[in-house]
């Protein structure tokens, strides 16, 4: 059986599945139950500075986007950091860590952007025995307006400065949690590294309005007739998160900086994908909030089975393996030619491929009177839209035109060698370089 143990920043956990900082990790009761269910670690719901407790709204705090089967695809929230007293959280964390020494327990922190505030809270967190801290520079609502959360995460200089304070006043690992509400994720990641961060985690939630109540004419969730932007998460954000993880993993300036992957992870496969793109472990929030703590069982079983099938004995065998295959467009092989193939045995004759191709793309699929759909190789540019809109899995596939054969669309023999845009004859820059 594959060994799921992960060692992230020297913090060992029995599996790579941690719960992200959010309601599932808001209190001792939850975290104990999560550990009993098998989660490898938790990032405690973000702690704030000592003082009057944070005040949350008392109306609905979530909005949602659903798939056709009402499966939750995206979740929007306007919740703040923990609204429980700091002392209560610290006591609970200490008790839980003492009882579960083999699990990772990370304290998420968000306090005002001044040295005194960080200096004050860090020794208190250290006393709990937590394995490390995560700096919440990500939450996009409520706290950002007070100069915290994403208001810090959007300014690389602040990230670097606060990270430096934390490294100065705290001697265990410091993880910087990044906001995706920024143009180029590499900048805050570089700032975190420059400040001495041991790792980055991403993504926090994305600014969003999920829906508008057309009777009240207000965004949802609606609080007494008004709404505000929230933070978007869940399966819908996974592609955005994975791109950001990959961008950091392949950036020479942050290459090797450990990454904790977050965003829409619901299955073992999602986790494996994040890890292949360079995440040393993963964090989960929405999936646990949707399906309960026990989903971790399926995540562990699935990952372990897949690793066995692939011959990976430990997670480090495949972490980052996909990173060298993430490249820029200009380096893609333009001599790799494919054509769509429709399996007539699997086709249910719905005609979606035909409608999509005929109306919006390349007119490369014909429909006969008895609804037989066929690809015309001389028109097919291999865009993949027919594959994407076909409701039957694997009914339409892309088949490579072997080098040496003629591409019916261009009438040219397909070259055997790799050829990308940087050297392409139509590229004026390539000519200039000659
Ligand atoms: C209701 C809710 C509250 C959250 N609170 C926090 C928080 O206090 N601190 C934090 O760093 N992230 C918070 N997050 C963000 C999550 O930790 C996570 O980054 C995000 O939800 C993406 O992961 P997911 O797609 O698995 O949900 C919260 C998310 C939700 C849904």
Could you state, in order of their start, the residue ranges of all structural domains in the chain? 6-325, 329-433
Ligand 1 atom 23: residue of nearest CA:
263
Atom of ligand 1 nearest to the CA of 46: 8
Atom of ligand 1 nearest to the CA of 266: 26
Distance of alpha carbon 163 from alpha carbon 243, whole angstroms: 24
Q: Answer for the pair 189, 254: CB distance below 8 angstroms, yes or no.
A: yes
State the pLDDT at residue 64. 95
Q: Across the strands, what pairs with 260?
A: 201, 281
* C-alpha 80 to ligand 1 mean position (Å): 10
Ligand 1 atom 5: residue of nearest CA:
22
CATH code for the part of the protein at 6-325: 3.20.20.70
Which of 76, 231, 74 is closest to 141 using CA atoms?
231
Residue 411, classed as helix, strand or coil, is coil
Q: What DSSP line would sit under 246-273, residue for residue?
A: HHHHH-TTTTT--EEEESS--SHHHHHH
| CA atoms lying within 13 Å on the CB side of residue 37 | 23
Residue 379, classed as helix, strand or coil, is coil
Which stretches of 311-394 are DSSP H helices?
A: 352-360, 385-389
* C-alpha 205 to ligand 1 mean position (Å): 6
Residue 25, classed as helix, strand or coil, is helix
Atom of ligand 1 nearest to the CA of 283: 26
State the pLDDT at residue 194. 98
Distance of alpha carbon 365 from alpha carbon 351, whole angstroms: 10
Ligand 1 atom 13: residue of nearest CA:
22
Residue 139 annotated among the catalytic residues of the structure:
yes
Whole-number Cα distances in Å, 7 to 16, 193, 275, 356, 425: 9, 19, 13, 47, 48
User: Which pTM was predicted?
Assistant: 0.96
Distance of alpha carbon 168 from alpha carbon 356, whole angstroms: 58
Strands 17-19, 41-47: pairing is: parallel
Q: What DSSP line would sit under 78-142, residue for residue?
A: ---S--S-HHHHHHHHHHHHHH-TTSEEEEEE---SSHHHHHHHHHHHHHTT-SEEEEE----SS
The CA-to-CA distance between both ends of the chain, in Å, stands at 54
Reported CATH class of domain 329-433:
alpha beta
Q: Answer for the pair 282, 260: CB distance below 8 angstroms, yes or no.
A: yes
What does the pLDDT profile of the chain (434 residues) look like in tens digits?
Answer: 899 999 999 999 999 999 999 999 999 999 999 999 999 999 999 999 988 888 899 989 999 999 999 999 999 999 999 999 999 999 999 999 999 999 999 999 999 989 999 999 999 999 999 999 999 997 777 777 777 777 888 999 999 999 999 999 999 999 999 999 999 999 999 999 999 999 999 999 999 999 999 999 999 999 999 999 999 999 999 999 999 999 999 999 999 999 999 999 999 999 999 999 999 999 999 999 999 999 999 999 999 999 999 999 999 999 999 999 999 999 999 999 999 999 999 999 999 999 999 999 999 999 999 999 999 999 999 999 999 999 999 999 999 999 999 999 999 999 999 999 999 999 998 876 66
Pocket test for ligand 1, best of 134, 242, 285, 299 (most atoms within 8 A of CB): 285
- Residues contacting 67, CB < 8 A, separation 6+: 73
């Amino acid at each position: 059986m594959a060994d799921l143990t992960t060692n992230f920043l020297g913090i060992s956990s029995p599996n790579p599945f941690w719960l992200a900082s959010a309601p599932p990790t808001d209190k001792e009761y939850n975290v104990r139950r999560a550990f009993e269910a098998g989660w490898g670690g938790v990032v405690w719901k973000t702690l704030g500075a000592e003082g009057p407790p944070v005040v949350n709204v008392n109306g609905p705090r979530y909005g949602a986007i659903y798939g056709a089967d009402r499966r939750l695809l995206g979740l929007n929230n306007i919740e703040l950091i923990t609204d429980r007293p700091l002392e209560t959280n610290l006591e609970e964390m200490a008790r839980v860590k003492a009882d579960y020494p083999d699990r990772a327990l990370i304290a998420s922190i968000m306090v005002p952007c001044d040295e005194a505030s960080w200096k004050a809270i860090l020794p208190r967190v250290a006393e709990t025995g937590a394995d490390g801290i995560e700096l919440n520079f990500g939450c996009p609502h409520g706290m950002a307006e007070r100069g915290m959360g994403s208001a810090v995460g959007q300014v690389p200089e602040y990230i670097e400065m606060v990270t430096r304070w934390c490294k100065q006043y705290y001697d265990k690992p410091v993880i910087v949690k990044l906001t995706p509400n920024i143009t180029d994720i590499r900048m805050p990641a570089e700032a975190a590294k420059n400040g001495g961060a041991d790792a980055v985690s991403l993504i926090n939630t994305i600014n969003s309005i999920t829906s508008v109540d057309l009777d009240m004419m207000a965004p949802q969730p609606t609080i007494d007739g008004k709404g505000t932007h929230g933070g978007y998460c869940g399966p819908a954000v996974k592609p955005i998160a994975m791109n950001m993880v990959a961008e950091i993993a392949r950036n020479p300036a942050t290459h090797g900086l450990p990454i904790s992957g977050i965003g829409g992870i619901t299955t073992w496969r999602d986790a494996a994908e994040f890890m292949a793109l360079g995440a040393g472990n993963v964090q989960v929030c929405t999936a646990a909030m949707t399906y309960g703590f026990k989903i971790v069982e399926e995540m562990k079983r699935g990952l372990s089975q897949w690793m066995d099938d692939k011959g990976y004995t430990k997670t480090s065998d495949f972490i980052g393996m996909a990173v060298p295959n993430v490249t820029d467009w200009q380096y893609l092989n333009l001599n790799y030619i494919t054509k769509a193939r429709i399996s007539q045995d699997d086709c249910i004759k719905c005609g979606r491929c035909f409608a999509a191709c005929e109306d919006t793309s390349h007119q490369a699929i014909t429909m006969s009177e008895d609804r037989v759909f066929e690809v015309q190789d001389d028109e097919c540019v291999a865009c993949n839209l027919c594959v994407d809109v076909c409701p039957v899995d694997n009914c339409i596939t892309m088949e490579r035109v072997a080098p040496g054969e003629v591409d019916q669309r261009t009438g040219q023999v397909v070259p055997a060698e790799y050829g990308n845009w940087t050297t392409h004859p139509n590229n004026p820059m390539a000519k200039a370089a000659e």
